[in-house]
Amino acid sequence: MSDYSFDTLQIHAGAEPDPATGARQVPIYQTTAYVFKDADHAARLFNLQEVGWIYSRLTNPTVSKLAERVCALEGGVGAVCCSSGHAAQIMALFPLMMPGCNVIASTRLYGGTITQLSQTIKRFGWGVKFVDFDDLAALEAAVDDNTRAIFCESISNPGGYITDIPAVAGVADKVGLPLIVDNTLASPYLCRPIELGATLVVHSATKYLTGNGTVTGGVIVDSGKFDWGKSGKFPSLAAPEPAYHGLNFYEALGPMAFTFHSIAVGLRDLGMTMNPQGAHYTLMGIETLSLRMDKHVANAKAVAEWLENDPRIDFVTYAGLESSPYHERVARVCPKGAGALFTVAVKGGYEACVKLVNNLKLFSHVANLGDARSLIIHSASTTHRQLSEEQQVAAGAAPNVVRLSIGIENAADLIADLDQALTAATA
């Protein structure tokens, strides 16, 4: 279906009528296992000689339809769904890393991702180097013989900074490493990282893809463009796999090597499986993705412009503002808009931020983003609490700022709510 437009793909990709019943909407296949035709059929499935259904930890028809749809929207060759955005990040790294290897990551990331990369992955024997990705020379200099991937967010959480993906991809190509881009905050409607040079794209489907705050989920999309066998650094993908009688995934499956490995080994052994009901909710959410994102962006621009001109505000980080140092990247990286997440520095510092949060009526104080509702959180004391103040500032989550996720309500109502809460916070 690659010849169709985005608006058509978000409804029809992966949504053919059910062959058994003719159901027009993708059914929820709430089943654990699937009956094999005979012993030979089962053996072919387990040997990866035939594609089919085995067990829902590996594949499920509802979940597979979601993977197919997100893959089509991102322009990849294959995709795998899993239980959360954090699971997607581990799943993306899993085939690439070995004990002693490291990943180079942007300093501008979601606080939970910084903690995952700086603390949790050490238990696998993996390491991380954090670099300011605006400094391309520093990024290239950070690469060593044990580096296996480069990781960034298209639009970073919480500041809404836009990464120069083509420039970063240029460095990744030069040093022969895969570039992994978390595209959660942009969605494939605003940004298409694969077209800009990314190898893998990850999503927290919990956010804009679903759009209604009902499920958690993650997706990894493979571009199919990386040569896993060229450098000899990726034996899980391009060397004999002991768990499959010496199968070399890249030799046997070419562009689909990463996708099949992530299912046959990653989901099999890590078990980070998405449930079919969650996949169903996300499929329904994606049907209105472009409509919602246009409204998110329009509202965010209106609210950010109002806040920037309010004397009670020190600064606003929204890249859609002409004053933003990242404004010129919007047209190149996110041509349909700069997203709907940004931070605001309130005069009065930490105390004023707390009062602002406590006095809002329309904005929900929750640890989520990308909802149809407008959301607010004080990142330094919540999502980025585990970080040092230096790390918080580097990530765009300093103690004097709040993070806004602008929803699809009426913009004037949102501005009025912020106005009354700012009056209470700075009185």
CA distance 284 to 287: 5
How far does the chain reach from its first CA to its final CA, in angstroms? Answer: 57
What is the pLDDT, as a whole number, of residue 20? 84
Residue of 121, 76, 113 whose CA lies nearest to 96: 121
What is the pLDDT, as a whole number, of residue 388? 78
What is the pLDDT, as a whole number, of residue 391? 78
Laid out side by side, the sheet with 218-222 consists of: 78-82, 218-222, 200-204, 179-182, 147-153, 102-106, 127-131
Assess contact for 267 and 187: CB atoms under 8 A.
no
Q: Is the pTM of this model over 0.75?
A: yes
CA distance 62 to 28: 6
Residues for the chain: how many in total? Answer: 427
Please provide the DSSP assignment of 306-344 as one string: HHHT-TTEEEE--TTSTTSTTHHHHHHH-TT---SEEEE
CA distance 128 to 35: 44
Pairing of strands 78-82, 401-405: unpaired
Angle at 11 between CA 7 and CA 14, to 5 degrees: 125
User: And the tokens for 236?
Assistant: 């899980």
Assess contact for 337 and 320: CB atoms under 8 A.
yes
CA distance 156 to 108: 6
- CATH tag for 289-425 (out of 3.90.1150.10, 3.40.50.2000, 3.30.70.100, 3.10.105.10): 3.90.1150.10
CA distance 311 to 69: 45
- Domain segments of the chain: what residues? 6-96+178-285, 289-425
Q: Which amino acid belongs to residue 233?
A: K
CA distance 176 to 383: 33
Question: H or E segment at 104?
Answer: strand 102-106
Low-confidence ranges of the chain (pLDDT < 70): 1-2, 395
CA distance 239 to 228: 10
What is the pLDDT, as a whole number, of residue 1? 65
User: What's the CATH number for 6-96+178-285?
Assistant: 3.40.640.10
Assess contact for 168 and 177: CB atoms under 8 A.
no
What is the pLDDT, as a whole number, of residue 48? 85
Residue of 136, 149, 201, 139 whose CA lies nearest to 176: 149
Sign of the Cα torsion 27, 33, 38, 39 reads positive
Beta strands in 157-292 (DSSP E): 179-182, 200-204, 218-222
CA distance 183 to 85: 10
CA distance 197 to 193: 6
CA distance 221 to 422: 41
Angle at 124 between CA 123 and CA 127, to 5 degrees: 90
CA distance 197 to 169: 5
